[in-house]
Chains A and B, each alone.
Chain A
Amino acid sequence: MARKLTFSKAINEAMDIAMERDNKVILIGEDVAGGATVDHLQDEEAWGGVFGVTQGLGNKYGRKRVIDMPIAEAGYMGAAVAAAVTGLRPISELMFNDFIGSCLDEVMNQGAKIRYMFGGKAEVPLTIRTSHGAGAGAAAQHSQSLYGMFTAIPGLKVVVPSNPYDAKGLLLSAIEDSDIVAFFEDKTLYSMKGEVPEGYYTIPLGQAEIKRSGDDLTIVAIGKMVHVAEEAANELAKQGVETEIIDPRSLSPLDEDTILQSVDKTGCLLIIDEANPRCNAATDISAMVVDKGFDSLDAPIKMVTAPHAPVPFARNLENLYIPNTSTVVQTAKEMIGKLTLSR
């Protein structure tokens, strides 16, 4: 039986391996060690990030490589950019992706553009690890899924893992990558367990995974939505509909070929994205397929997303906000039903 780890521990292990292999890798952020300078604090009790994802790294690599930062995102994110340009390979943790509001200039106008503006004479090997997603009752300013916004910015790479195995392999690739990579961790997946091999391995950025093969319908799902797609596919299989599920794993670069090939086979595309419905990853993928694979389509592309509203606090509203299996099944059946009638 292969070893199982949580999503959180898999991410921790990737950082551990990267820091072991390369002493230029450092980790900075708010409370990434936790209780910095508190003499009595045993490391196993230290926070290791607000979700405990970085636990143990401060003890192992010391406070010169795992550095707690003041609550000053613009300051330390900008510093991470230039530390990357000048020889380090930082992992900078943005506690919640919503806090990009406090350091967008540093990421968008500085980091993402430096290589281009400098005529290709600089590299920015920075990994921004950040949490996203609704479902934790964290309300409007701590629950968004903003990877689409990052995907729109040239110079940034964007990774959204859906499971522990991918999280480890993709994070190692992200850290080794010589561009800025924004690495999105769904906070409601942290406790999810899955098989994770020991030791070093990488998964290349820009390579989607076909999670399930089917001939009737393609579902492209992002991050946690892969699990919603899998549940929906099980439901649909009972009703005779065979679904192909694609997990893009990285949104920038995007594995267009795998998506287009699947749509060419099924003729039908449904995209699930927890982000708000305008200008998100789903609309981007949809536009790409319409542009490059229109002739493959037998039906209009459908998207299941959150509504055009902030994330609500009340539990019942938050549950309605997040795309769910029954909506996906219903949407898929409508698509397939219309198709059967027209065929």
Chain B
Amino acid sequence: MDKNKAHWIYAKMNDIRNFENQVQKIFSTGVIPGFVHLYAGEEAIAVGVCAHLNKDDYITSTHRGHGHCIAKGCDLNGMMAEIFGKETGLCNGKGGSMHIADLEVGMLGANGIVGGGFPLAVGAGLSSYVQGTDSVSVCFFGDGANNHGTFHEGINIAAALKLPVIFVAENNGFGEATPFEYATSAKTIAERAKAYNIPGVRVNGNDVMEVYAATEKAVKRAKNGEGPTLIEALTYRTHGHFEGDNQAYKSEADKEKWPVDIDCIKKFKEYALQNDLLSEEELTEIERASEQAVQEAVEFAHNSKEPSAETLTENVYVAYRQ
């Protein structure tokens, strides 16, 4: 890994953590409508994967999508404004936290429907395959979604047609309030890959270097026309399913089963220092710049206007004759 990549990784992980901490704080004041699902603690997965992607590559995301958006390059100002429901938001305030999207950077949308991303990622892969482009598509999904029909249908299509798609399971231990082991008949998500005759690997999702290494192989395979890979990244949902969730379903014993003791950002910081990728000064500067960027995003969102009334019925169609 070169210094630039290490810089990028550390910056993105910090952006996500700071962003989510701010969203949590502001949500508790009632300024943000609806509900939010926070990604803090799982940064290594989105960042480790997106470190291999460029603007022409696509990702699909989930209800817990802020981290994927940031890692893929969505503008922090536009994201925060969207979460506030402002006209300057990436979706002009129409979508909100669960529907942030930005096609300019290959972000095909967070998603309010569990399992909604699989067929969409397959479609982006199909588009790449038919058009003969070099782009790959990545489907991020949670452990809850691995029991949804779309998981099986989507992976099978991608595998059968050898489409350039990477399926990234973020196994954080819980689908809403239900433990992974209760809802999933298989011991691991990765082993389900066997049924589709594709590689399935399980990595420590709190170690960005492990995620990075697994994704590198998967991207190569996808670009070589060999088809999809299923990566299961183990992590732990340090937040509730949504903000305000009492999380009574979590126990100390649960936490020990998952690599919670490892903060993915601290872990990478140590790695970067030990391997002379980033100096203490550089790390501190990245942290400072990230905090500032997120603070600016908050101010941008606060200072932005609500969407105007006439936008209520705009953008339903490209054209519609009445």
Given known contacts A37-B179, A102-B115, A317-B311, what 10 new A-B pairs fall within 8 Å (CB)? A30-B176, A46-B248, A70-B147, A70-B183, A72-B148, A137-B33, A313-B33, A313-B85, A314-B87, A314-B93
* Contact yes or no, B312 A72, CB < 8 A: no
Q: Is the CB of A38 within 8 A of B179?
A: yes
Is A41's CB under 8 angstroms from B176's CB? no
When A and B form their complex, what is the total count of cross-chain residue pairs whose Cβ atoms lie within 8 Å?
151
Q: Are B312 and A307 in contact (CB under 8 A)?
A: yes
CB contacts (< 8 Å) of A46 on chain B: these are: 177, 248-249
Interface residues of B (CB under 8 A from A): 33-35, 82, 85-87, 91, 93-99, 111-115, 144-145, 147-150, 175-179, 181-184, 246, 248-249, 251, 254, 306-307, 309, 311-313, 316
Cβ-defined contact, A307 with B249, below 8 A: no
Stretch in A138-146, A227-235, A245-253 touching the partner: A138-146
Assuming the contacts A35-B249, A102-B148, A309-B316, asked whether A139 and B96 have C-beta atoms less than 8 A apart, the reply is yes
Could you say which of B33, B113, B147, B183 contacts A315, with CB atoms under 8 Å apart?
A: B33
User: How far does the alpha carbon of A154 sit from the alpha carbon of B289 in the complex, in Å?
Assistant: 60
CB <8 Å contact, B147 and A320: no
Instruction: Enumerate chain B residues within 8 angstroms of A142, measured Cβ to Cβ.
Output: 98, 112
Do residues B176 and A317 form an inter-chain contact, with CB atoms below 8 A? no
A-chain residues with CB within 8 Å of residue B148 when the two chains form the complex: 70-73, 102
Q: Considering residues A74, A136, A137, A317, which has the most beta carbons from chain B within 10 angstroms of its beta carbon?
A: A317
Bound-state Cα–Cα, A41 to B253, Å: 13
Tell me the A37-83 residues at the B interface (CB within 8 Å).
37-42, 45-47, 50, 68-75
CB-CB under 8 A from A138, the residues of chain B are 34-35
Tell me, in angstroms, the Cα distance from A164 to B193 when the chains sit together.
48
B248 surroundings in chain A (CB, below 8 A): 35, 41-42, 45-46
Measured in the bound complex, the distance between the Cα atoms of B144 and A68 in whole Å is 13
A interface residues, Cβ below 8 angstroms from B = 30-31, 34-42, 45-47, 50, 68-75, 98-99, 101-102, 136-142, 307-310, 312-318, 320-321
Q: How far is the CB of A305 from chain B (nearest CB, A)?
A: 13
With a cutoff of 8 Å between Cβ atoms, the chain A residues found around residue B98 in the complex are 139, 141-142
Q: Are B177 and A35 interface neighbours, CB within 8 A?
A: yes
Q: How far is the CB of B267 from chain A (nearest CB, A)?
A: 28
Complex Cα distance A67/B135, Å? 43
**Do residues A38 and B249 form an inter-chain contact, with CB atoms below 8 A?**
yes
Asked whether B176 lies within 8 Å of A31 as measured between CB atoms, the reply is yes
Give 9 A-B contacts (CB < 8 Å), ordered by A residue. Answer: A34-B178, A35-B179, A46-B249, A70-B148, A72-B148, A98-B112, A314-B33, A316-B307, A317-B306
